[in-house]
Amino acid sequence: MRKAFTPTVLLTLIVLLGLVLSACGAQPTPAPAQPAPAQPAPATAAPAATKAPEPTKAPEATKAPEPTKAPAPTAAPAATGQKVLRRAQSVIGKFGDPFHITGGQIDEWMFLSLSRLVFYNAKLDLEPDIAEKYTVSPDGKTYTFTLRKGVEWHDGTPFTAKDVVFTFNYICQKDLNAMQYPNVKVIVGCEDVNQGKATSVAGVTANGDYEVTLQLNNASSIFNHALTQIPIVPEHVVKDIPPADFTKSKFVTERWYPGTGPFIVKEFKGDESIELVANPKYFRGAPKIDVIRDIKIPDANTRLLALEKGEVDIAAGLPVAELERIKKIPGVELVYLDPVVPNVLFVNYHRGNKEADKPEQPKFKAMQDPRFRQALIHALDLDNLIKAVDPYGTTVKWNCPLAPSLGDLCAPDIKTYGYDPEKAKALLKEIGWDANWELIFVALGTPPTWYEIVQQMWAKVGVKATITPIEFANFIAEFYGKGKFDVIISGQARWVPLDILGTVHRCGFEYPKGYNSTQYCNPKFDEIFEKALATADPAVYKPLITEMTRILNTDLPTYPLWIGKSFQTMGPKVDASTFKLGCGYNWTAPHTWTLK
């Protein structure tokens, strides 16, 4: 053996190899010739359901497509003098699949590059996006959209009604398993396509290049919501992707697509960073920022330090505990997001539909009494509890079943079950509550510190609660599936009333049919819900929503306790006043974002 093979030499070689590889990897990636749409990722070049697959073609899901078209506008590296908005995010990877938006909320990134027919404003009314205008027939069954003329996909291909028709046809394909399908199947013929009885959706028709008609089997208010969640995709790209292969296509894994939105995806490094450049031909006006560069900084403290040093202009999800420090950073502004996720008390009825239920037991019988729920709320000193939850003053009491932005829809006579321990004790006595009975007080993930305060407050009125964590990744099976809880306080988005109120409160909507975890059932509530669901007219369904809030406030299957504001921290370069929120978390006009 030769002495040259010492461990030090070996290690040096490894180090050099690593440094070379990393330095090479660190070179700026040349701008792709263009998000070349003409060559998508498909494994087999066959449009879903309308054309037979070509199984002889080898899958090419990981091979870079060969660009065949000229570069689209502005897909170039950030040059000196360009206005670059740098944002620090905690997560990057979970976005971009237009049909599997796993977060449930419309994804901000996706709508930076794709457009919808309509979107929600802050009051839950529809506003036109790529549709210039739309009409709904008096019976609520026919939607007619007039599309904007002269709109181009990022690769220069004209946008037409065919793209809209294609998108709806694609969503109805069974193999796609689109998240939007349950709310879209109300379109005439959509279910037929899904079940393989038809090759195209009869209820979706193009009237020329700039008008589309959607015919529904019945009016549906939830369809309005569905419309705001459907990004229109380019037919000339997606038609070659079989629905079953969509999630593995480059459309999703590399964001290799043209859109019609204000920004063009230039470089996507999964779970690490994304860079978008402005689309100067955007139909609502050219963006005022040239480049958006989002990077993943998973640690909140590091995000704050990066903002403090000026390495990023916006930091998302900074800890509330650092609020005072953040405010002291020169030039920093806070933009409070519309709070949409109140912390809600859920009390299980244990009606016998779940594995954990024993409805014959006296404890569970007592829990079904509304007075028990009232007692639990009366026992909570919310003012002091909120101080413990959030000493920084960004959290407020909230008792309406809907998010504050929809406060107009809350019943004006909604009751506040204020702090009154004596009343709580009296109510518990009335229902024969035994102080030895124990409540399973479930927490999703690590129980927050305030859980113990709640536990103590309940103990003071004679309700013994045992804090029981359910791991975050296990909550569907344990919480919804087996119903293993008596009470829980957990965040629940309440900004799409008909979607959430129905699935959480309707009779028989326990998992897997829905998410009625408490097994609440009130036929009166269901009747009103069905009426609201069966209309597309906001003037009809909005008062019905108000009536539903009243019922929930009386029955108390769930009861919101407080709501916290989250915020985005804008650095000195950012003109925070140009960031406008729509309903929920959505920014309504990214093309107007401005850097100072």
Partner 1 sequence: MLRYIVRRLLISIPVLLGITMITFAAYNLAPGDPISAMIDPSVPVAPEVLEKMKEDLGLNKPVYVRYVIWLKEALRGNLGYAYNSSTPVLKKIGDRLPATLALTTSAMLLAIGLGVPLGVYSALRQYSALDYVLTFFAFVAVSIPAFFFALGIIYIFSVRLGLFPVQGLRDPDAANQVLDFLRHLALPATALGLERIAGFQRYTRSAVLEVLGQDYMTTARAKGLPERTVLWRHGFRNALISMITILSLNIPGLFGGAFVIEWIFSWPGMGQLAVSSVNMRDYPTLMGIALIGSTLVLLSNLLADILYAIADPRIRYT
Rule CB under 8 A: which of 199-258 touch partner 1? 247-248, 252-253
Contact positions with partner 1 (CB under 8 A) in 496-515: 500, 503-504, 511-515
Instruction: Tell whether residue 26 is a contact of partner 1 (CB under 8 A).
Output: yes
CA distance 560 to 571: 33
Nearer to partner 1, 303 or 373 (CB): 303
**What would the x/- binding string for partner 1 be over residues 315 to 354, using CB under 8 A?**
--------------------------x-------------
Nearer to partner 1, 271 or 438 (CB): 271
Instruction: Tell whether residue 577 is a contact of partner 1 (CB under 8 A).
Output: no
DSSP-derived 3-state class of residue 300: helix
- Contact present, 486 and 336 (Cβ < 8 Å): no
CA distance 411 to 394: 25
DSSP E strand stretches across 390-518: 395-397, 438-444, 464-470, 487-491
Amino acid at 9: V
Instruction: Tell whether residue 78 is a contact of partner 1 (CB under 8 A).
Output: yes
Contact positions with partner 1 (CB under 8 A) in 267-286: 269-272, 275
Instruction: Tell whether residue 527 is a contact of partner 1 (CB under 8 A).
Output: no
| Least distance CB 103 / partner 1 (angstroms) | 5
CA distance 284 to 379: 52
The residues pairing with 232 across neighbouring beta strands, listed in sequence order, are 115
Q: Give the neighbor-by-neighbor strand order of the sheet with 263-269.
A: 263-269, 273-278, 291-296, 84-89, 314-316, 567-570, 333-336
Of 399, 490, 569, 586, the one binding partner 1 (CB under 8 A) is: 490
Of 94, 149, 325, 327, the one binding partner 1 (CB under 8 A) is: 94
| Least distance CB 200 / partner 1 (angstroms) | 22
Give the range of 64-72, 73-81, 164-172, 588-596 binding partner 1 by CB under 8 A: 73-81
| Least distance CB 41 / partner 1 (angstroms) | 10
Would you give the DSSP letter of residue 479? I
- Closest by CA to 256, choosing from 286, 279, 233, is 233
Conformational region of residue 391, where left means phi above 0, alpha means psi within -120 to 50, and beta covers everything else? alpha
Q: What are phi and psi of 469, to 5 degrees?
A: -75, 140
- Closest by CA to 135, choosing from 124, 144, 125, is 144
Q: How many CB atoms lie within 10 A of CB 210?
A: 19
Site size toward partner 1, by CB under 8 A: 84
Tokens coding 170: 């694609």
- Contact present, 257 and 65 (Cβ < 8 Å): no
- Contact present, 95 and 107 (Cβ < 8 Å): yes
The DSSP bridge pattern shows strands 558-564 and 567-570 to be unpaired
Instruction: Tell whether residue 25 is a contact of partner 1 (CB under 8 A).
Output: yes
535 CB-near residues (< 8 Å, 6+ apart): 140, 219, 221, 541
Instruction: Tell whether residue 460 is a contact of partner 1 (CB under 8 A).
Output: no
Give the range of 99-107, 358-366, 410-418, 550-558 binding partner 1 by CB under 8 A: 99-107
Of 321, 435, 459, 477, the one binding partner 1 (CB under 8 A) is: 477
Instruction: Tell whether residue 436 is a contact of partner 1 (CB under 8 A).
Output: no
Instruction: Tell whether residue 148 is a contact of partner 1 (CB under 8 A).
Output: no
| Least distance CB 369 / partner 1 (angstroms) | 27
Query: Which H or E run contains 237?
Result: helix 235-238
Nearer to partner 1, 266 or 591 (CB): 266
| Least distance CB 585 / partner 1 (angstroms) | 10
Contact positions with partner 1 (CB under 8 A) in 169-198: 177-179, 181-183
Tokens coding 94: 């979970």
| Least distance CB 173 / partner 1 (angstroms) | 12
| Least distance CB 341 / partner 1 (angstroms) | 5
Instruction: Tell whether residue 539 is a contact of partner 1 (CB under 8 A).
Output: no
| Least distance CB 102 / partner 1 (angstroms) | 4
Give the range of 22-30, 206-214, 387-395, 547-555 binding partner 1 by CB under 8 A: 22-30
Of 7, 30, 55, 412, the one binding partner 1 (CB under 8 A) is: 7
Four-point Cα dihedral 108, 594, 584, 175, nearest 10: -20
- Contact present, 208 and 144 (Cβ < 8 Å): no
CA distance 502 to 122: 21
Of 68, 93, 407, 408, the one binding partner 1 (CB under 8 A) is: 93
Of 332, 440, 493, 589, the one binding partner 1 (CB under 8 A) is: 493
Nearer to partner 1, 273 or 368 (CB): 273
| Least distance CB 206 / partner 1 (angstroms) | 28
* Crossing angle of helices 382-389 and 450-460, rounded to 10°: 160
Give the range of 23-31, 137-145, 160-168, 414-422 binding partner 1 by CB under 8 A: 23-31
